[in-house]
Chains A and B, each alone.
Chain A
Amino acid sequence: MTRPGEDAVGGVIDVAEAVRGGARSALEVAEACIAGIRAGDPALHSFLYVDEEGALAAAAAVDAARAAGEALGPLAGVPIGVKDNLCTAGVPTTCASKILEGYRPPYDAHVIERLRDAGAVIVGKTNLDEFAMGSSNENSAFGPVHNPWALDRAPGGSSGGSAAAVAGRLVSAALGSDTGGSVRQPGAFCGVTAIKPTYGRVSRYGLIAFASSLDQVGPLARSVRDCARLLEVLSGYDPRDATSAVRPVGQYERACERDVRKLRVGVVRDELEQVQDPDVRARVDDAIAALESAGADVVEVTLPTARYGLSMYYLIAPAEASSNLARFDGMRYGLRVAGADLTATYERTRAAGFGPEVKRRIMLGTYALSAGYYDAFYLKAQKVRTLLRRDFAAAFARCDVVLSPTTPTPAFKLGDKSGDPLQMYLADIFTLPAALAGLPAISTPAGLSAAGLPVGVQLTAPAFEEERLFTASRAVEDALWRDAPAPAFAAPRGDRSAVSSAAGAPSR
């Protein structure tokens, strides 16, 4: 059923310009998108819910606005998938957890409002590791996602559904969330560009919290330019998030047009030496060479504290999660499994509602915050985090961006690591430092492995210097990922009758 190279939808800028110019109607795009999901997603399982009615209504509204001569937003008619840990008013939002099965939030997340205001058509909610905890999407309570480049491989996680839907050409782009690498790692595994903005750049209001001091919403798209357009829409101060930054938003799309001459690209030599995978080594070397030949200067930098990234992360993130997930107690919404008394109800509800990885992290975090252990674990990790920020500050005195692999290997096989949490955690080893330091980082494809799997390269910049990331990753894309190759799998072009016959039925 897969027809390689087929793309019924189109990229973000392509669709927005076609709709604005009248070459395509938003409704036509939305219908093609939904038909594509109906036909293609059974193989990928990238969606948990398809909001056909909402999508068609939003598309019709864009067409009506255009017909009325109104100015169209930068994402007018662009079909977008949204990770299912972002609240969508009246539309199921589950975090891929049984504890929230059937939950419909009464309000839209800030980023959802931004998308709607920009004219985007939200087509549905994408699959993820339960509560965004995982690196393979195998922790979804509703079944894993398959990597469109090789259906037996993991799409990465936790934003695996978003990455697979974009790579599989089911949507123009998607929103994910990144706590320790959750947009960048699946972006690398699926061959799409994904950026985690500076902490505070995008409002977290309506993003169901995993680890509040790390969580950021970020876009995944087929190209660096598409990603830039999305981030420009998502960014900006929101008074409902006290950690939201009061700073002007950069000109990300324009930054894509700058060249990299004299840009100082920092490389951590020890880090590169440790990369075992020859494909990853080769593609990272390609990216460095591409930047150099485009006029960038490569300099060596060190990040001595980065080696403690995993230790820090697995104290801080579970500690915050143990508190953030306390609200899922069966009292007000979501699953309730009644017990003989209040305590039994809590225990039974949470035992039945949470999957094993979520429980593991709640226990880790509860322990790390306990009286007598707080100083040794949580507080110590926070102090090391300060050292890591200083490392980055020192590195950025010598360079403008830091380049590294996004992941130690290309996409691994489903089931390969699911029995060994520590091996799974190591998949995020390169993405954790930027998350812990609150810095913006982008992953963009730098070519394929010998086995035909995409390999990502990560660039990290100082806080609020996202523009540099777009400039530099555009140069990598231009040299190594021009015209965004599509995976062997792609959604076949659906037809209208398929859409209407499936109307209203969720995809799972």
Chain B
Amino acid sequence: MVSSYEAVIGLEVHAQLHTKSKLFCGCATAYGAPPNAHVCPVCLGLPGALPVPNAEAIALAVRAGLALGCDVATSSRFARKNYFYPDLAKGYQISQFELPLNARGALEVELPSGTKRIGITRIHVEEDAAKNLHGVGAGTDTLVDFNRAGTPLIEIVSEPDLRSAEEAEAYLRKLRDILMFTGVNDGNLEEGSFRCDANVSIRPAGDETLGTRTEIKNVNSFRFVRMAIEHEIARQQAVVEAGGEVVQETRTWSESHHKTRSMRTKEDAHDYRYFPDPDLPPLVVAQARIDAIGAALPELPDAKRTRWRAELGLTEYDAQVLSAHPAVARYFDEVASALCAQAGGAARDEVGKRAANFVQAEILGHVEQAGLDARFPVPAAALAELLRLVERDVINGKIAKRVLSEMIESGEGAEAIVEREGLAQVTDAGAIEAAVRAAIDAHPAQVAQYRAGKTAVLGFFVGQVMKATRGAANPKQVNALLRELLGEP
């Protein structure tokens, strides 16, 4: 009896390349069109039609390879994977087999135990299949929607370096993050543009040899990946502990039953008869082109967060929140860089932090995400104009929120609104002093409390002054003056 088992997990991720058109024809990749709206002789596999690679898709696949530290092949090959299924128009899928575009990469994953390097075996380019729609139309019919057929994918195959469901989930989240920030993939699990198969095996802890693996197909959320792997590890352990042997098979995750079940065993496995696709010459990408794609590689999320922490004084938490989506990160970067252009050093930290807080508190709630794009309530430049008014003490933070509502409503600029509504804060020392004195005179009891050492009452006085000035008084000045006139507690 073995006392403890270790899980060995490798992941295969199919990520849709974020292109306008399909991998081998000019049809649109748009999701959600009526069935068979985006089809042509090529993606329908009509007799005589031929594939021609989409240069944009290849460039994105190279970008993915470079972002994940792969060696990018200057010459790779498309190969045919032959099998029969109604969603496969040609009777074969064009994929890559012996010579993939990208190989030997890695991804660093942050785990509670520290950073772990997960090897990436290969990243190859392939076309997606169509979609079978069961039981539509006349009752039991299965109809096929070819809109998805020929959509460009990359398959990212990891080394079996993962040891738990948590590690697998962390790897997937990190991978999705990188693909989104490089504009390779829109990260949309529900629409199936980021799909995962997991290869799972167990072995006695400390063993070097791999156990028999099972493959879990197409799990479409991070939570389900974790659950499916956990369930599969437990199932295999139970099989082994009961004296049985794990059977090599493909299993499918049932969302409704929260367990995996057998789909097909090794005996039913296809012989895909891979061979180089004679319709497509070797895929040649010049080294100069690879270098140019590498030079234009967008900032990766890790680098972005490190920079924000170092240059803008953001906390790890803030940096995480603001880099959850590439469009948000880009938006924040624009706002921050507009604001910080003049600031430097410690002042820059302050400005950065305040901008981060404002974006999180006031903007994120209004953001509508759509794939790799997002709609913001106001453009980054307009928000920077508003926040600059705060930095220059023209308005305070509270007024800024009010101005923002106006901006969203009317589309007007911050300065115009402040001007029109007379919202510029009162910085005239005389006017503020009058309001402060009035507040002190009106509340002798609170004055006594303060002087007795209950300094929290200061907030009460600030509130009174702000109320009297309709929020327009400069809070810093109000604070300073109150302390002065109330005297030492």
Which residue of B47, B80, B82, B275 has the most chain A CB atoms within 10 A of its CB atom? B47
Q: Which of B48, B92, B144, B281 contacts A105 (CB 8 A)?
A: B48
Whether the Cβ atoms of A326 and B50 lie closer than 8 Å is no
A371 at the interface (CB under 8 A from B): yes
Whether the Cβ atoms of A323 and B91 lie closer than 8 Å is yes
B136-152 at interface with A (beta carbon < 8 Å): 144
A366 at the interface (CB under 8 A from B): yes
Whether the Cβ atoms of B52 and A242 lie closer than 8 Å is yes
B253-309 at interface with A (beta carbon < 8 Å): 271, 273-275, 277-281
Please name all residues of chain B whose beta carbon is closer than 8 Å to the beta carbon of A333 when the two chains form the complex: 46
Using known A-B contacts A319-B275, A332-B44, determine if residue A243 contacts B84 with beta carbons closer than 8 Å.
Answer: no
Whether the Cβ atoms of B80 and A323 lie closer than 8 Å is yes
A326 to B80 CA separation, bound complex (whole angstroms): 12
Whether the Cβ atoms of B48 and A242 lie closer than 8 Å is no
Whether the Cβ atoms of B47 and A87 lie closer than 8 Å is yes
B90 at the interface (CB under 8 A from A): yes
Whether the Cβ atoms of A346 and B47 lie closer than 8 Å is no
A487 to B48 CA separation, bound complex (whole angstroms): 34
Please name all residues of chain B whose beta carbon is closer than 8 Å to the beta carbon of A95 when the two chains form the complex: 47
B379 at the interface (CB under 8 A from A): no
A470 at the interface (CB under 8 A from B): no
Which residue of B44, B45, B50 has the most chain A CB atoms within 10 A of its CB atom? B50
Closest residue of A by beta carbon distance from B53: A242
Whether the Cβ atoms of B41 and A378 lie closer than 8 Å is no
Please name all residues of chain A whose beta carbon is closer than 8 Å to the beta carbon of B53 when the two chains form the complex: 242
Q: Write the nearest CB–CB distance from B189 to chain A, whole angstroms.
A: 29
A320 to B82 CA separation, bound complex (whole angstroms): 11
Q: Which of A43-51, A204-212, A288-296, A455-463 contacts B (4 or more CB under 8 A)?
A: A204-212
A383 at the interface (CB under 8 A from B): no
Using known A-B contacts A242-B53, A242-B279, determine if residue A207 contacts B44 with beta carbons closer than 8 Å.
Answer: no
Whether the Cβ atoms of B50 and A204 lie closer than 8 Å is yes
Whether the Cβ atoms of B50 and A241 lie closer than 8 Å is yes
Using known A-B contacts A204-B50, A242-B50, A319-B275, determine if residue A326 contacts B92 with beta carbons closer than 8 Å.
Answer: yes
A469 to B140 CA separation, bound complex (whole angstroms): 60
A370 to B274 CA separation, bound complex (whole angstroms): 8
Q: Which of A211, A213, A323, A332 contacts B92 (CB 8 A)?
A: A323
Closest residue of B by beta carbon distance from A330: B86
B89 at the interface (CB under 8 A from A): yes
Whether the Cβ atoms of B275 and A378 lie closer than 8 Å is yes
Whether the Cβ atoms of B281 and A243 lie closer than 8 Å is yes
A109 at the interface (CB under 8 A from B): yes
Whether the Cβ atoms of A205 and B86 lie closer than 8 Å is no
Closest residue of A by beta carbon distance from B144: A331
B397-443 at interface with A (beta carbon < 8 Å): none
Please name all residues of chain B whose beta carbon is closer than 8 Å to the beta carbon of A208 when the two chains form the complex: 47-48
Q: Which of B45, B46, B90, B277 contacts A106 (CB 8 A)?
A: B46
Kindly count the residue-residue contacts between A and B in the assembled complex, taking CB atoms under 8 Å apart.
98
Closest residue of B by beta carbon distance from A316: B278
Please name all residues of chain A whose beta carbon is closer than 8 Å to the beta carbon of B204 when the two chains form the complex: none
A79 to B188 CA separation, bound complex (whole angstroms): 56
A93 at the interface (CB under 8 A from B): yes
Whether the Cβ atoms of B48 and A87 lie closer than 8 Å is yes
B69 at the interface (CB under 8 A from A): no
Closest residue of A by beta carbon distance from B87: A331
A240 at the interface (CB under 8 A from B): yes
A469-498 at interface with B (beta carbon < 8 Å): none
Using known A-B contacts A106-B41, A209-B48, determine if residue A327 contacts B90 with beta carbons closer than 8 Å.
Answer: yes
B51 at the interface (CB under 8 A from A): yes
B324 at the interface (CB under 8 A from A): no
A208 to B91 CA separation, bound complex (whole angstroms): 15
A100 to B46 CA separation, bound complex (whole angstroms): 11
A318 to B82 CA separation, bound complex (whole angstroms): 14
Please name all residues of chain B whose beta carbon is closer than 8 Å to the beta carbon of A206 when the two chains form the complex: 48-49
The range of chain B's interface size is 20 to 34
Please name all residues of chain B whose beta carbon is closer than 8 Å to the beta carbon of A209 when the two chains form the complex: 47-48, 279
Q: Write the nearest CB–CB distance from B302 to chain A, whole angstroms.
A: 38
Please name all residues of chain A whose beta carbon is closer than 8 Å to the beta carbon of B49 when the two chains form the complex: 205-206
A331 to B48 CA separation, bound complex (whole angstroms): 17
Please name all residues of chain A whose beta carbon is closer than 8 Å to the beta carbon of B82 when the two chains form the complex: 322-323, 326, 369
Whether the Cβ atoms of B273 and A369 lie closer than 8 Å is yes
Which residue of B46, B48, B89, B279 has the most chain A CB atoms within 10 A of its CB atom? B48
Whether the Cβ atoms of B278 and A212 lie closer than 8 Å is yes
Please name all residues of chain A whose beta carbon is closer than 8 Å to the beta carbon of B274 when the two chains form the complex: 369, 374
Please name all residues of chain A whose beta carbon is closer than 8 Å to the beta carbon of B92 when the two chains form the complex: 323, 326
**Interface digits, B32-62 against A, CB 8 Å rule (1 contact, 0 not)?**
0000000001001111111111000000000
Please name all residues of chain B whose beta carbon is closer than 8 Å to the beta carbon of A378 when the two chains form the complex: 275
Using known A-B contacts A323-B80, A346-B84, determine if residue A213 contacts B47 with beta carbons closer than 8 Å.
Answer: no
A441 to B321 CA separation, bound complex (whole angstroms): 67
A329 at the interface (CB under 8 A from B): yes
A6 to B84 CA separation, bound complex (whole angstroms): 52
A241 to B86 CA separation, bound complex (whole angstroms): 25
Whether the Cβ atoms of A327 and B48 lie closer than 8 Å is no
A326 to B91 CA separation, bound complex (whole angstroms): 5
A332 to B46 CA separation, bound complex (whole angstroms): 9
Closest residue of A by beta carbon distance from B279: A212
Please name all residues of chain A whose beta carbon is closer than 8 Å to the beta carbon of B271 when the two chains form the complex: 370-371
Using known A-B contacts A327-B90, A370-B273, determine if residue A320 contacts B48 with beta carbons closer than 8 Å.
Answer: no
Whether the Cβ atoms of A105 and B47 lie closer than 8 Å is yes
Please name all residues of chain B whose beta carbon is closer than 8 Å to the beta carbon of A212 when the two chains form the complex: 277-279
Closest residue of B by beta carbon distance from A320: B278
Please name all residues of chain B whose beta carbon is closer than 8 Å to the beta carbon of A326 when the two chains form the complex: 82, 84, 90-92
Please name all residues of chain B whose beta carbon is closer than 8 Å to the beta carbon of A239 when the two chains form the complex: 52
Using known A-B contacts A105-B46, A326-B82, determine if residue A240 contacts B52 with beta carbons closer than 8 Å.
Answer: yes
A107 to B47 CA separation, bound complex (whole angstroms): 10
Whether the Cβ atoms of B91 and A329 lie closer than 8 Å is yes
Whether the Cβ atoms of B51 and A242 lie closer than 8 Å is yes
Using known A-B contacts A323-B82, A332-B89, determine if residue A213 contacts B278 with beta carbons closer than 8 Å.
Answer: yes
Please name all residues of chain A whose beta carbon is closer than 8 Å to the beta carbon of B90 when the two chains form the complex: 326-327
Please name all residues of chain A whose beta carbon is closer than 8 Å to the beta carbon of B46 when the two chains form the complex: 87, 105-107, 333
Please name all residues of chain B whose beta carbon is closer than 8 Å to the beta carbon of A346 when the two chains form the complex: 84
Closest residue of A by beta carbon distance from B83: A326
Please name all residues of chain A whose beta carbon is closer than 8 Å to the beta carbon of B279 when the two chains form the complex: 209, 212, 242-243
A340 at the interface (CB under 8 A from B): no
**Interface digits, A92-109 against B, CB 8 Å rule (1 contact, 0 not)?**
010100001001011101
A23 at the interface (CB under 8 A from B): no
Please name all residues of chain A whose beta carbon is closer than 8 Å to the beta carbon of B44 when the two chains form the complex: 332
Using known A-B contacts A323-B82, A323-B91, A327-B90, determine if residue A207 contacts B278 with beta carbons closer than 8 Å.
Answer: no
Whether the Cβ atoms of B48 and A205 lie closer than 8 Å is yes
Using known A-B contacts A242-B53, A342-B86, determine if residue A323 contacts B48 with beta carbons closer than 8 Å.
Answer: no
A209 to B80 CA separation, bound complex (whole angstroms): 15
Q: Write the nearest CB–CB distance from A276 to chain B, whole angstroms.
A: 35
Please name all residues of chain A whose beta carbon is closer than 8 Å to the beta carbon of B281 when the two chains form the complex: 242-243
Closest residue of A by beta carbon distance from B270: A371
B314-345 at interface with A (beta carbon < 8 Å): none
Q: Which of B80, B84, B280 contacts A242 (CB 8 A)?
A: B280
A86 to B52 CA separation, bound complex (whole angstroms): 19
Q: Write the nearest CB–CB distance from B143 to chain A, whole angstroms.
A: 11
Please name all residues of chain A whose beta carbon is closer than 8 Å to the beta carbon of B275 when the two chains form the complex: 319, 323, 369, 374, 378
A284 to B410 CA separation, bound complex (whole angstroms): 90
Using known A-B contacts A243-B279, A320-B278, A331-B144, determine if residue A100 contacts B47 with beta carbons closer than 8 Å.
Answer: yes
Q: A95-B47, A105-B47, A333-B46 are in contact. List 5 more A-B contacts (CB 8 A).
A: A205-B50, A212-B277, A240-B52, A243-B281, A332-B45
5 tightest A-B contacts by CB? A326-B91, A213-B278, A212-B278, A369-B273, A206-B48
16 pairs of residues in contact across A and B, judged by CB atoms under 8 Å? A93-B47, A95-B47, A103-B47, A205-B49, A208-B47, A209-B47, A209-B48, A240-B52, A242-B51, A243-B280, A243-B281, A326-B91, A329-B91, A332-B144, A369-B274, A374-B275
Which residues of A approach B to under 8 Å, CB–CB? 86-87, 93, 95, 100, 103, 105-107, 109, 204-209, 211-213, 239-243, 319-320, 322-323, 325-329, 331-333, 342, 346, 366, 369-371, 374, 378
